[in-house]
Amino acid sequence: MDRREFFKATATAGVILLSGDLLRGTSFAQRLVSIPESERIVITIIVDNLADTGRPDYKIAKRLERIESVFDNAPYAEHGLAYHIETVVSGESHSCLFDYASDAGGVMKNMNLLKIDLRKIEALGLSHDHWDHQAALLGILRAKKNEFRNGIPLYVGEHFFVGEYVRGPRGNIISQLALNREEIESLGFVKIVEIKEPTPIITGAYLPGRIELVTDYEKIPPRFLTKRGNEFIQETFPGEQAVVLNAKGKGLIVLSGCAHRGVVNTVKHAQKMTGVEKVHAVIGGFHLSGEKPERIQKTIADIKAIGPDYIVPTHCTGFEAIAAFAQAMPDQFILNTAGTRYVITV
């Protein structure tokens, strides 16, 4: 092969490799996202599956305090997840809500206990289109419409309002979507924003866009379906979102809703999109409930290799996986309860 043929061949190979990479949803030339460093981050779990008023503060976890009544630290819990996120960047505070669980009354009870000021909320976000993360949103928006900012953005991933379905134990197909675009838009003060690429939700916090699938074991169960025309096909959750933050001097904080695309995939995607290897905390649902022990152990091994300072499995992680994380990573593990605040400061 002469020199001219060599350069022609290598150029062609480069195009083929890049094309293949693009088809997988990544690019060698992918722009890194620079998330502003926060000197203070407060992540509040408004609602989770577990409530436990007897647990003390532990490391970065601050529990609800009893102020005047025994009911002051008696939060509502359900099979659902809801976050309040606050960042402080260059001395300025910013806040958003991410996921909303299913029962509006219970969520608003906890918001009151936690003294969350909805007038300060700059944006709303949703991880994915399952009832246990979004069914309460419409009721909250209707009840608190005078407290939210006019034109507040609601960030959702691609295909969100297409809906997602699950095949029931008897073979019946059940819709998981509890929100309707028209109902939200009819409120008159919410602007729906569909994203595909990394997008800031507030200063200091990003939604990752489409999360790349890199592990060989974080498979989406075939019971999850979506609809294309009149046909039900396998759901891959291409629009599922997380929240990625950057704590000054400490590293990334990754918050997941359910991590259907895999919690390891989610964390690795956050590292790749930011170019930051250090992970300070991984918090959220890891969708390991009912999974085989082999997958749980592979997940734990990969998370241990990443080396977060804290691991906080919530919601759909499941008892077996939560117990396994506690055993395998005792120094990093924190048991979450509804109403817990995670405070990260410089």
Domain annotation covers residue 252? yes
Return the pLDDT at 73.
Answer: 82
CATH number for 115: 3.60.15.10
Domain annotation covers residue 17? no
| Sign of the four-CA dihedral 245, 250, 256, 259 | positive
Return the pLDDT at 299.
Answer: 98
Domain annotation covers residue 267? yes
* Token duo for residue 75: 């939060």
Length of the chain, in residues:
346
φ, ψ of residue 240 in degrees (nearest 5): -65, 135
CA distance 306 to 42: 23
Return the pLDDT at 154.
Answer: 98
CB atoms within 10 A of CB 108: 19
Domains in the chain, number: 1
Using alpha carbons, select from 164, 97, 86 the residue that is nearest to residue 128: 164
Return the pLDDT at 24.
Answer: 38
Domain annotation covers residue 204? yes
Return the pLDDT at 30.
Answer: 59
Q: Which residues of the chain have pLDDT under 70?
A: 1-30
Domain residues for 204? 33-345
Domain annotation covers residue 341? yes
Domain annotation covers residue 50? yes
Return the pLDDT at 195.
Answer: 97
CA distance 207 to 98: 10
Domain annotation covers residue 7? no
Domain annotation covers residue 240? yes
* Token duo for residue 277: 């290897």
Using alpha carbons, select from 236, 258, 219 the residue that is nearest to residue 128: 258
CA atoms within 13 A on the CB side of 207: 30
